[in-house]
Amino acid sequence: MKQSIQRIIHFILVIVLLATSIFTVFYYWTATTTSDLRNLPTSLLTVIIFYILAQLIKRYVKKSMKWYDWIYYLGLIAILLPLPLFSSEGDWIFSTTKYGSLLLFIPPLIELLELILSKKK
């Protein structure tokens, strides 16, 4: 019983992670100016906080971390990189945030696939 409840909570957390990462990726892929990257809307900051909280809760539910669980740190660094770099301009900032935001999407996607495949076994 306890394991099935943990599995349900884990599944819900993965869905939350996927939804928040899709929102974040969409924002960064549609950003057109460096001002969009530096002046983040409150809704995006809230979504990023939910993403981080879901990752932390998932760690307590899962009790173990796999290699892909560390990838989201690189994604967080990539999306927050433009904030302290006020004087930087150029395409490298857009490339870093666009492709770095994808690193937030990859871990929950892999985890969802693992949950689906492990259920079929």
Encode pLDDT of 42-86 as tens digits.
999 999 999 999 999 988 888 788 888 889 899 999 888 887 765
Name the amino acid, one letter, at 27: Y
Burial zone of 120 (CB within 10 Å; 0-12 exposed, 13-18 middle, 19+ buried): exposed
**pLDDT reported for residue 85:** 67
Tokens of 63: 């009790």
Note the pLDDT of residue 89.
67
The reported pTM is 0.86
CB 107 within 8 A of CB 69: yes
Structure confidence by residue, pLDDT tens digits, 74-114: 999 988 888 776 566 667 888 888 899 999 999 999 999 99
